[in-house]
Amino acid sequence: MSDAVRFPDPNTEIETIPLEIDRLRRSFENGRTRPLEWRREQLKRLIRMHEIHADEFVGALQADFGKPTFEAFTSDVSQGKLEAKSALKNLKKWTRPERVGGLPVMGRARVIREPLGVVLIISPWNYPVGLLLSPLAGAIAAGNAVVLKPSEVTPHVSAVLAKRLPEYMDPEAITLVEGGVEETTVLLEQRFDHIFYTGNGQVAQVVMEAAAKNLTPVTLELGGKSPCIVHEDADIETAARRIAWGKFVNAGQTCIAPDYVLVHESREEALVTALGKAVRDFYGDNPKNTADYARIVNRRHHERLATLMKDGTPAFGGEVDDDQCYVAPTVLRDADDESSLMRDEIFGPILPVRKVRNIDEAVQFVNSREKPLALYLFTKDGKVEDDVLSRTSSGGACVNGTLFHIMDSRLPFGGVGSSGTGAYHGRHTFETFSHRKSVLTRGTRFDPKIMYPPYGEKLTKFVKRFM
């Protein structure tokens, strides 16, 4: 799991990248990906790949950063399969022309979905299987040719994907590029019809700048500091379990993990105590010894987290192990509001807890920061729920829970402002990779001359009365 034990980063020969993109574009322009039969077959193959090689993907995730088997399968490996099954089931409905009501004199109006063309999907390292193959399912369902770029930070996963995808997917329309900054830079120099990027804001700026040169639309799934507000009426024991689970799953390396807690001052002590109990219930007295707790992906991130730890006072946790890239589940108090801990996305198992006097102070604190990808609220009061949701802006929200809003594919998942642009999951992924083309078909039997010049004063007066 440390950088020292990794094999050299996998990569694709740079000079072949433009040739691959050109080859896929010819396939798309020749109509290879448009038939529903092709889309169904590719979705079936994607499902089959998951069924046969799930354990291989899990093993790669464990080799890269020690993901527990249960977490690796449920929160990562299974996601692409679930998205592909949903797309396969609903493909006919999603692709059916959408009838639009209108004036009979104008003609028959409808909206048809057409594929965008050749699309690029760039995935991150924290959920490197699911966040690559989930959007792939939607891109296939929409009828696109696809270039996939897995993260170089998880080379075992990248290698397995590079090996297995060509065995199942149509190589004339779906390809994978391995590598790091150099390969990604060359990729972004190519013309795509859509770029789907999941990762951090700094790289997103690079992606947008490159996309702008070709006026390429982008979907950016980013992150940010997702707040968790605990009202004074909250069920503290339940809130603590759900916050601890959402924060410490995958060792906090989740874009929608609670990044800090704002708790009513009268409940702060009880919440911190309950969080400590929840962690012991989950992972025992020494989380380092359990198979259910992940490691930090590499030494660079481990060192970054160890430095962040100094910005607060541990209520519990705080232990680190450099050799294992281990950071204990940690709750911190007394962090300065302007510290890196409270300004930058943590992306690790460190949870600052800050007292607030009331909901107004909590809302004001959230609104003083960039818009988060997720917002969590624990309360029994429906009025408080409505108040907080109406006065804050976030990509998504979950009341009396964490992370669960991402699991319902009927809900669009995406950010707002600095936490991202665009959304996906279920049909929303299909729509992301489709163009909604407006079509109006007029009849020829009725063609009144009054519609054509010369218009005359009477027609002008008549039109002015009704428009």
pLDDT in tens, 354-366: 999 999 999 999 9
What confidence category does residue 281 fall into, taking pLDDT thresholds of 50, 70 and 90?
very high
Give the mean model confidence (pLDDT) for residues 107-114. Answer: 93
- Asked if 190 contacts 21 with a C-beta cutoff of 8 angstroms, the reply is yes
3 pLDDT above the threshold of 50: no
Give the mean model confidence (pLDDT) for residues 365-370. Answer: 96
Mean pLDDT of the chain: 94
**pLDDT recorded at residue 9:** 53
**pLDDT recorded at residue 110:** 93
What confidence category does residue 457 fall into, taking pLDDT thresholds of 50, 70 and 90?
confident
pLDDT tens per residue, range 66-100: 999 999 999 999 999 999 999 999 999 999 999 98
User: Among 196, 78, 96, which residue's Cα sits nearest to residue 138?
Assistant: 196
Find the catalytic residue in 20, 83, 152, 221.
221
Alpha-carbon gap, residue 259 to 349, rounded angstroms? 9
**Which single residue is written with the structure tokens 């109990």?**
277
**pLDDT recorded at residue 318:** 94
Give the mean model confidence (pLDDT) for residues 292-318. Answer: 95
**pLDDT recorded at residue 466:** 79
User: Among 90, 153, 163, 82, which residue's Cα sits nearest to residue 122?
Assistant: 153
CA 459 from centroid of its chain's CA atoms: 54
- pLDDT-wise least confident of 219-233, 392-406, 450-464: 450-464
Domains and CATH numbers, the chain: 3-222+417-440 (3.40.605.10), 226-414 (3.40.309.10)
β-strand 330-333 against 313-316: which pairing, if any? antiparallel
Q: What is the pTM of this model?
A: 0.94
pLDDT tens per residue, range 221-263: 999 899 999 999 999 999 999 999 999 999 999 999 999 999 9
Find the angle CA(61)-CA(75)-CA(130) to the nearest 5 degrees: 70
**pLDDT recorded at residue 121:** 98
- Asked if 217 contacts 240 with a C-beta cutoff of 8 angstroms, the reply is no
6 pLDDT above the threshold of 60: no
- Asked if 235 contacts 378 with a C-beta cutoff of 8 angstroms, the reply is yes
Check if 228 is active-site: no
**pLDDT recorded at residue 5:** 36
Alpha-carbon gap, residue 457 to 191, rounded angstroms? 51
Concatenate the DSSP letters of all residues of 220-248 into one string: EE----EEEEE-TTS-HHHHHHHHHHHHH
**pLDDT recorded at residue 7:** 42
**pLDDT recorded at residue 246:** 98
Percent of the chain past pLDDT 90, that is, above it, reads 89
Q: What count of Cα atoms within 13 Å lies in the side-chain half-sphere of residue 259? A: 25
β-strand 108-115 against 98-100: which pairing, if any? antiparallel
120 pLDDT above the threshold of 60: yes
Where on the phi/psi map is residue 381: left (φ > 0), alpha (ψ -120 to 50), or beta?
beta
Find the catalytic residue in 83, 152, 183, 255.
255
